[in-house]
């Protein structure tokens, strides 16, 4: 038996060089070079090529399983002829399908006729009614979209996202020992390291990538209302449930046995929620890096000949991170809308999912564009350790926390004179300008054990970073 052939658009003729009409949106205009890798997966021609693939493989599957009496086993040449139909779908094929659709006013029916044209005059002509046998349009569409989205995720989006996370992790490791003043609620807080804060974001993004990597891509082929009604009416003796399951699984998808006319799209909603969440975490990184740049913690390298402001010659604006923010907001909104819309269909079928799914590529395109912008932005950054050190040296009040904590520990151990540690440090530091001398004087006034006093006396804002470096080493991965 000839197995169902896996779908691999990357091995086929690319649609990326097919000249688009004057672009209404930026993904097909200004940002076309970045979004282009998605064209072979999520464009209209990609949808029709995937439909051709599903229709052809269903034809082959029916013959090889003997599901329909009289459908003989195919020769190798006949199988090759059929599989060449989607493989050879190019600009001329796109135009031919469009001409057929002008007559049918139905895109999937035009696919059926497109295939049948290629069987005319061949040894497969007597079997041509196996094209689209017992299928509703949604049998073809749901499988096509599942293959397209899976290909876009696995072959385009995930490699780009994983490379971005690697970039962030690399920067985190390089800066793991660079002390940095934290800001909680925008106010000076316990120091950390720049690398540890970047590691937090890399770790969060890695978790979302893992969720996306575990995603199932579901499909069905069970007729107009999911009952195999036409199948069993035409050929009652065939185990159509098994034929359906083996076909869907042969395509590399997870079989959904219980559906209405449409596959329920729940898997898409799950995926888009995870993609949107990845984007929101990345948005958090973009705004944090933007803030670090504004604080002077990162310096930006200017590209030769580039202009930051048309009026202010000195400026190097963090435009890559700002661009990423906007594109992440657009992609998240689209992914959210897709997830909310696709899980609902009136009774056994309505058409709301059709228009919604045609915007999947737009959601992915803005996400991919954001990823590209963050990666490009990161390449311009260098750590300004002097600025980080200056901020720390101006913030000795942050040592109130370790001192009062040490006093609490001493009090529990029975050391006298350790009463009201929090309140005493609050009085010393809150709303006050504190320097090293004030801290040293306060520590020296305490009847602390010698080792504790020495440890606190040696502490500086720059050295008060806890286990930040170890956390990066052990848990960044």
**Alpha-carbon span 386 to 226, nearest angstrom:** 67
Tokens read off for 429: 């530091």
Beta bridge partners of residue 299, listed in sequence order = 382
- For 367, other C-beta atoms within 10 Å of its C-beta total 27
Closest CA to 141 of 64, 67, 53: 53
pLDDT higher than threshold 80 for residue 10: no
Point out the catalytic residue in the list 123, 306, 309, 405.
309
Provide the phi-psi class of 66: left if phi over 0, else alpha when psi is between -120 and 50, else beta: left
Query: Quick one: pLDDT at residue 451?
Result: 95
Model pLDDT for residues 359-399, shown as the tens digit of each residue: 999 999 999 999 999 999 999 999 999 999 999 999 999 99
Closest CA to 136 of 157, 95, 108: 108
**Alpha-carbon span 222 to 245, nearest angstrom:** 10
* pLDDT category of residue 304 using cuts at 50, 70 and 90: low
Query: Quick one: pLDDT at residue 15?
Result: 76
Query: Quick one: pLDDT at residue 18?
Result: 66
**Alpha-carbon span 139 to 391, nearest angstrom:** 62
**Alpha-carbon span 148 to 253, nearest angstrom:** 11
Q: Say what the pTM is.
A: 0.91
Average pLDDT score over residue span 266-285: 97
**Alpha-carbon span 469 to 292, nearest angstrom:** 19
Point out the catalytic residue in the list 185, 310, 314, 382.
185
- In the annotation, is 457 catalytic? no
pLDDT above 90 as % of the chain: 85
Query: Quick one: pLDDT at residue 19?
Result: 62
Taken in order of first residue, the domains within the chain and their CATH numbers are: 27-135 (1.10.275.10), 139-385 (1.20.200.10), 396-460 (1.10.40.30)
Query: Is 257 strand, coil or helix?
Result: coil
Q: Cα 206 to chain center, whole Å? A: 11
Tokens read off for 125: 């002509």
Four-residue CA torsion sign, 385, 387, 391, 394: positive
Tokens read off for 310: 């048309």
Those residues whose C-beta lies under 8 Å from the C-beta of residue 116, and which sit 6 or more positions away, are 128, 131
- In the annotation, is 106 catalytic? no
């Amino acid at each position: 038996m000839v197995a169902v052939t896996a779908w691999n658009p990357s091995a086929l003729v690319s649609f990326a060089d097919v000249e688009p009409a004057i672009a209404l949106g930026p993904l097909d205009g200004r940002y076309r070079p970045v979004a282009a890798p998605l064209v072979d997966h999520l464009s209209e021609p990609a949808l029709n090529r995937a439909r051709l693939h599903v229709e052809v493989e269903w034809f082959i599957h029916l013959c090889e399983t003997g599901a329909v009496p009289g459908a003989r086993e195919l020769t190798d040449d006949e199988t090759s002829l059929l599989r060449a139909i989607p493989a050879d779908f190019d600009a001329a094929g796109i135009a031919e399908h469009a001409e057929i659709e002008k007559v049918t006013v139905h895109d999937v029916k035009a696919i059926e006729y497109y295939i049948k044209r290629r069987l005319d005059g061949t040894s497969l002509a007597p079997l041509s009614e196996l094209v689209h046998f017992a299928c509703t349009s949604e049998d073809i569409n749901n499988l096509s979209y599942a293959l397209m989205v899976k290909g876009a995720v696995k072959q385009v989006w995930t490699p780009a996202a994983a490379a971005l996370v690697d970039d962030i992790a690399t920067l985190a490791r390089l800066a793991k020992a660079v002390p940095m003043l934290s800001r909680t609620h925008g106010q000076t807080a316990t120091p950390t390291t720049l690398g540890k804060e970047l590691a937090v974001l890399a770790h969060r993004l890695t978790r979302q990538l893992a969720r996306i990597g575990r995603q199932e891509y579901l499909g069905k082929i069970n007729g107009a209302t999911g009952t195999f009604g036409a199948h069993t009416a035409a050929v009652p003796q065939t185990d159509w449930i098994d034929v359906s399951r083996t076909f869907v699984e042969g395509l590399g998808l997870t079989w959904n046995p219980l559906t209405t006319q449409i596959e329920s799209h729940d898997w898409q909603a799950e995926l888009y929620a995870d993609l949107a969440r990845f984007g929101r975490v990345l948005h958090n990184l973009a705004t944090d890096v933007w803030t670090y740049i504004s604080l002077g913690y990162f310096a930006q390298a200017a590209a030769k000949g580039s202009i930051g402001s048309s009026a202010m010659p000195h400026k190097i604006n963090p435009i890559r991170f700002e661009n990423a923010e906007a594109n992440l907001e657009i992609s998240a909104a689209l992914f959210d809308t897709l997830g909310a819309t696709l899980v609902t269909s009136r009774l056994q079928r309505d058409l709301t999912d059709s228009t919604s799914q045609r915007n999947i590529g737009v959601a992915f395109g803005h996400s991919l564009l954001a990823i590209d912008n963050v990666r490009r932005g990161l390449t311009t950054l260098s750590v300004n350790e002097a600025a980080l050190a200056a901020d720390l040296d101006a913030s000795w009040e942050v040592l109130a926390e370790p001192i009062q904590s040490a006093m609490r520990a001493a009090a529990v151990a029975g050391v006298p004179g350790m009463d009201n540690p929090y309140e005493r440090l609050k009085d010393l530091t809150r709303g006050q300008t504190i320097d090293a001398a004030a801290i040293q004087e306060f520590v020296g006034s305490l009847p602390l054990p010698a080792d504790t006093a020495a440890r606190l006396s040696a502490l500086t804002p720059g050295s008060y970073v806890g286990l930040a470096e170890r956390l990066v080493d052990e848990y960044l991965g």
